[in-house]
Copies of this chain bind each other. A is one copy, B any other.
Amino acid sequence: MIKAIVNVSLKAGVLDSQGKAVHHALDSLHFSGVSNVRVGKQIILELDTEDKTTAMADVTKMCEELLANTVIEDYEIELV
């Protein structure tokens, strides 16, 4: 079994309203010294294979087709 960790984040330059909301909430709670907040998704997949090359190819295809909106989001895949 291979575990794939996919981190999906908004591309630089795309307005991150969730990040802005968290930043504002942290300010309201008197956490100073935070200069930027970005919020993304982390998707953890368990795959029934032992071949890392196949796994990486499959997960890349999943990201392109479903997991990430590649117009506005970047994704990173880590296999463990």
- A residues near B (Cβ < 8 Å) are 1, 7, 9, 19, 22, 25-26, 29, 31, 33-49, 58, 61-62, 65-67
Residues on B with C-beta less than 8 A from A49 are 33
The answer to whether A38 and B47 touch (CB under 8 A), given A22-B66, A26-B66, is no
CA separation between A29 and B61, bound complex, in Å? 11
The answer to whether A34 and B45 touch (CB under 8 A), given A66-B22, A66-B25, is yes
Among candidates B33, B41, B45, residue contacting A42 with C-beta atoms closer than 8 Å:
B41
For the complex formed, measure the closest distance between the CB of A6 and the CB atoms of chain B, giving whole angstroms: 10
For the complex formed, measure the closest distance between the CB of A46 and the CB atoms of chain B, giving whole angstroms: 4
CA separation between A28 and B70, bound complex, in Å? 20
